[in-house]
């Protein structure tokens, strides 16, 4: 059963075929990374993060924002480590 926009597509087979064809034919756009990032930015992780920060956020993050992200990443890493060790206990 296929639903689009919350509607049931069983009663609309022609529209369902059109939607399925459109989805099948659509492709993700390709990005030429050399046009976006320099060689230095691609080869150095710190430079890459800074470049993405500038391009995506259009500004540098404030120190509080950076600290908040770091704490989220640390908590996520601790959670991942705890859950992976818990999973290994079951095997």
Write the CB contacts of 38 (distance below 8 Å, at least 6 apart in sequence).
51
pLDDT number for residue 68:
85
What is the pLDDT at residue 39? 92
Cα gap 64→48, rounded to integer Å? 21
| pLDDT over 80 (residue 9) | no
Write down the pTM of the prediction.
0.35
pLDDT at 40: 92
Q: Give pLDDT tens digits for 27-57.
A: 777 778 888 889 998 888 888 888 878 887 7
Q: Extract long-range pairs of 47-50: CB within 8 Å, 24+ residues apart.
A: none
| Beta-bridge mates of residue 33 | none
DSSP state of 9: G
pLDDT at 6: 54
pLDDT above 70: residue 7: no
Domains of the chain: which residue ranges? Answer: 1-30, 33-60, 62-91
DSSP secondary structure of 18-73:
HHHHHHHH--PPP--HHHHS-HHHHH-HHHHHHHHHHHHHSSPPPHHHHHHHHHHH
Question: Taking residues 58-73, what's their average pLDDT?
Answer: 82
């Amino acid at each position: 059963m296929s639903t689009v926009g919350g509607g049931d597509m069983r009663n609309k087979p022609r529209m369902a075929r059109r939607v399925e064809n459109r989805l099948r034919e659509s492709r993700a756009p390709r990005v030429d990374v050399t046009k976006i990032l320099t060689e230095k930015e691609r080869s150095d992780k710190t430079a890459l993060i800074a470049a993405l920060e500038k391009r995506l956020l259009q500004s540098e993050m404030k120190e509080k924002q950076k600290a908040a992200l770091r704490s989220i990443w640390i908590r996520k890493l601790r959670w991942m480590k705890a859950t992976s060790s818990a999973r290994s206990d079951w095997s």
